[in-house]
Each structure stands twice: as structure tokens, then as C-alpha cells.
Amino acid sequence: MERFTGSFTQQEPIPEEAIAAALRVLQSGRLHRYNTIPGEVAEAALLEEEFAAQTGASYCLAVASGGYALACALRAVGVGPGDRVLTNAFTLAPVPGAIASVGAVPVFVGVTEGLVIDLEDLAAKADQARVLMLSHMRGHICDMDALMALCAARGITVIEDCAHTMGAGWAGRLTGRWGTVGCFSTQTYKHANSGEGGLLISDDAEVMARAILLSGSYMLYDRHRAAPPPEAFADLRLQTPNISGRMDNLRAAILRPQLRDLARQCARWNDRYRVLDAGLAGVPGLTRVARPEAEGFVASSYQFLLLDWQDDAIRAVIARCAARGVELKWFGAPEPVAFTSRYDSWGYVPSEPMPATDRVLYGILDMRLPLTFSLEDCALIARIIRAEVSAVFQGDLSAPGGVARVE
Ligand SMILES: *Cc1c(COP(=O)(O)O)cnc(C)c1O
């Protein structure tokens, strides 16, 4: 019986060029982004300049984490205590957490079988808030033309959570470039790895000036190279609190070479995704997630659905795959295991049951696809899932790998 022995949490090493750049920063001793000598441009400022150019955004700000970027964006567009913010019922804990951190209240919008925000539900709830924090959760991108038209018509400001979509787009336009602000994470499990880190991009001078002041710029915003002109700060500089969350030069140095290589890495993720997805075609009872033509996805993780399966049968699939080295995360588990990703796990947020969403959430199985996996690894993982899902679905539990029973 085949067994997979790789690690779903092992990322690639930091590239040599990035290690060399990090060493230069360490040797200089000038890790703080505003600690520069005459004529020197800080790594953090260069990172912002380069990411703005890479995405086509007018402005960019590097910060301490993806979660900080989200909260900073909310504050920068004027969200405050007691405000309501629309967001996805299917996302990761830092998203409702960012909303709660500014004293605001999430209003959850449902998820479709395509694992994107349900635009009908969004339309139905549009009058409840003036801001939408849209999470491109697990890299699934909704019809952005339709979403932006809906939000424009209802006067809703959109902040995009691109933690899983750095390098991805819809209809040829990158995620993060649709809303007023795009927020990215450079935490280890995302598309670029600085341990922790975040980036905001925007074309809105006032919003970005506020974000830079919020991040803790000590009035040194003229040292930024992807910032609005000084006039944009004039009325804000003494009115905007400093909520420190800057990125340091060490992380910026590690990120710059990685971002230059982003397109190649994205192609490598999608190569792995295609092998896995093809290997899971036509498995009875297993629903693959449709990817629309316009979705320029980057699949650094893989999801499939066991829609309308019994609890015990889903548990059996998970146990049998785990016994063969394939770790599946069940987003639908009634009691969340490890990280949380569904609206009813966040007990600090009031929410009404959402039956159509519950059905989808209940059926989602997920795995990461780190670039340390080879294409053959992906083919093997697909064979294991295929065999175990089929065995449980057909009730043939004498098949290899049987570690759980469905009564
Ligand atoms: C990781 C993540 C974030 C936040 O990123 P951190 O850098 O860990 O704070 C936000 N949204 C989603 C969907 C994420 O997965």
C-alpha cells in the first residue's frame, strides 16, 4: 500500500540571494526602517516601491503582519467602534479578528459551492454596513466585476484580504487592485515568506497617508518611496494615532528577491494543483471546486467537497488518509481542530445560522500544497485520496488503509 511521507507544513528554504541580503542588513545593524545613513534607502522602502510597481498600485506600505494590514486598512477607511463590517462566513480567524480589533462587528456573508462569497447574500445584507472586507479565502476569487458593481451601487467600500491570492487575479486584473485597499500577508504559509509580515496597496492618497501614519511613521513619511505626496499628510499628521506595526529592514530584505520570483513560484503551485486536481477527477461522491475561466488563480492549497456526507463517513476518510500520510483539514468539523475558519467558531461575534453555507462548510476538506512537494508527490496524494474516498463511499472498508468504520 502506498504511503506519503512528506510534510504539509514544510516550505522551501529562503533563497540564497535573500539570505545574503539579510546578512547585509544584520551587519549594518540598521534594522529599523527609519534608521538610515545619508544617501541610503531602507530595504523596507525599496520593498514598497517594488511591490507597488509589480502590482501597478500607486502606493504601498509594508507592515508587521497580514492581520495588522487588515486592521490598519479598516482604520484608514474610517471604520471605528460599533461599526458593522461585511465579511466572508468562510475565512480565517485573523479576518473577523481584525474587524473585532477596531471595535467593529463582523456581518457574515455566505459561501457558495465554488467556495467564494455568495453575491446574492451580499446583496441581501448590503444595507447593513458601508465596508466589505472581502477574503479571497484559500485562493478562490469571486466574479469581481459583479462584486464591484454591486458594492459601487450600494456605496460599499471594499477592502481585499489577499493573504491567499498574492499573484492571482480576475479577468486579468490582480487581486488587491479591485478594492480601495488590498492587504497581503508574507507570513511563512503564504506566497512569500518573511516569517511574519504584511503589505497594503492602494491608489487612494488619503487612505494611504492615514495608513502610513497609523503604522508608526514618526513623521518620517518622506522617507517612503511609494507614498502619497507630503500634502496628503498635512491635515492628517496630527489627527492620526500611531498604532505601531512597521515592517523592519530584515524582513523586507528577505522578501525583495522572493517577490521578484513570484510569477515562477505561482506557476509551480499551479503545476502541482493541476496534477492533484486531474488525479481526483471522476471520484464518486467527491466534488471538485469549479474554477471559472476568468479566475487567474494561484493554488497554494487544494480543497474538495464531500457534500451531504454523514459525519462518520467524513471522519473515516480523514482517518484513512491520515494513516497513509495525507493530512486533510476538515473545515466542517463541529468542534474546530487547530485554526478556525467558519463563522460559528467565532463565539465573540453574534451570528444567525446560515443553512446553505453550513452545508458547504460542513463538506470542505483542505490541504496545503507546499512547493517542497514534487509533481509525483501530488500524483501520489491524489491516488491515496481517490482510493480512500472511494472505499468509504462504496462502504468497502476492508480495502487497504481501513482504520475507521462507518456503521
Ligand atoms: C494568514 C491570513 C491572514 C493574516 O495573515 P497574518 O500575516 O498571519 O496575520 C488573513 N487572512 C487570511 C485568509 C489568512 O489566511
Task: State pLDDT tens for residues 118-157.
Answer: 999 999 999 999 999 999 999 999 999 999 999 999 999 9
| Burial letters 213-236, b for 16+ CB under 10 A, else e | bbbbbeeebeebbbbbeeebbeeb
Please tell me if the domain spanning 16-260 has the same topology as the one spanning 262-402: no
What percent of the chain has a predicted confidence (pLDDT) above 70? 97
Distance of CA 90 to the CA centre of its chain: 12
Active-site positions read 190
In the sheet that holds 301-305, the strands lie side by side as 287-288, 301-305, 364-368, 329-330
What is the best residue among 187, 194, 341, 366 to mutate for testing ligand 1's pocket, by most ligand atoms within 8 Å of CB?
187
- Arithmetic mean of pLDDT, 303-315: 96
Distance of CA 98 from the midpoint of ligand 1 (Å) = 10
Q: Assign domain 16-260 to its CATH architecture.
A: 3-Layer(aba) Sandwich (3.40)
Strand ranges (E), 265-405: 287-288, 295-296, 301-305, 329-330, 364-368
Q: Assign domain 262-402 to its CATH architecture.
A: Alpha-Beta Complex (3.90)
From the CA of 135, give the closest atom in ligand 1.
13
What is the per-residue pLDDT for 356?
A: 96
Distance of CA 388 from the midpoint of ligand 1 (Å) = 31
What is the per-residue pLDDT for 403?
A: 44
What is the per-residue pLDDT for 145?
A: 98
What is the per-residue pLDDT for 396?
A: 64
Query: What residues contact 374, with CB distance under 8 A and at least 6 apart?
Result: none
Please report which confidence band the pLDDT of residue 405 belongs to, taking 50, 70 and 90 as the band edges. very low
Residue type, 179: G
pTM: 0.96
Distance of CA 210 from the midpoint of ligand 1 (Å) = 22
Task: State pLDDT tens for residues 245-271.
Answer: 999 999 999 999 999 999 999 999 999
Distance of CA 241 from the midpoint of ligand 1 (Å) = 24
- Residue 27: pLDDT over 70: yes
Please report which confidence band the pLDDT of residue 397 belongs to, taking 50, 70 and 90 as the band edges. low
Cell of 379: 500524483
Distance of CA 281 from the midpoint of ligand 1 (Å) = 30
Domains of the chain, residue spans? 16-260, 262-402
Cell of 115: 467556495
Cα(297)–Cα(141) distance, integer angstroms: 7
Coil, helix or strand at residue 359: helix
As a residue count, the chain comes to 407
For cell 480523514, the residue is 318
From the CA of 187, give the closest atom in ligand 1.
7
Cell of 393: 463511499
From the CA of 186, give the closest atom in ligand 1.
7
Query: 347 phi and psi, to 5 degrees?
Result: -65, -15
From the CA of 68, give the closest atom in ligand 1.
9
Query: 57 phi and psi, to 5 degrees?
Result: -80, 150
Strand partners, 158: 132
Strand ranges (E), 90-190: 105-109, 131-135, 157-161, 169-170, 173-174, 181-185
Ligand 1 is surrounded, with C-beta below 6 A, by 65-67, 91-92, 94-95, 135, 137, 161, 163-164, 185, 187, 198
Contact of 63 with 246, CB cutoff 8 Å: yes
Residue type, 399: A
CB atoms within 10 A of CB 238: 9
Cα(382)–Cα(388) distance, integer angstroms: 10
Nearest-CA neighbor of 130 among 147, 111, 145, 152?
Answer: 152
Please report which confidence band the pLDDT of residue 298 belongs to, taking 50, 70 and 90 as the band edges. very high
Q: What is the mean pLDDT of the chain?
A: 95
Task: State pLDDT tens for residues 61-81.
Answer: 999 999 999 999 999 999 999
What is the best residue among 92, 188, 341, 343 to mutate for testing ligand 1's pocket, by most ligand atoms within 8 Å of CB?
92
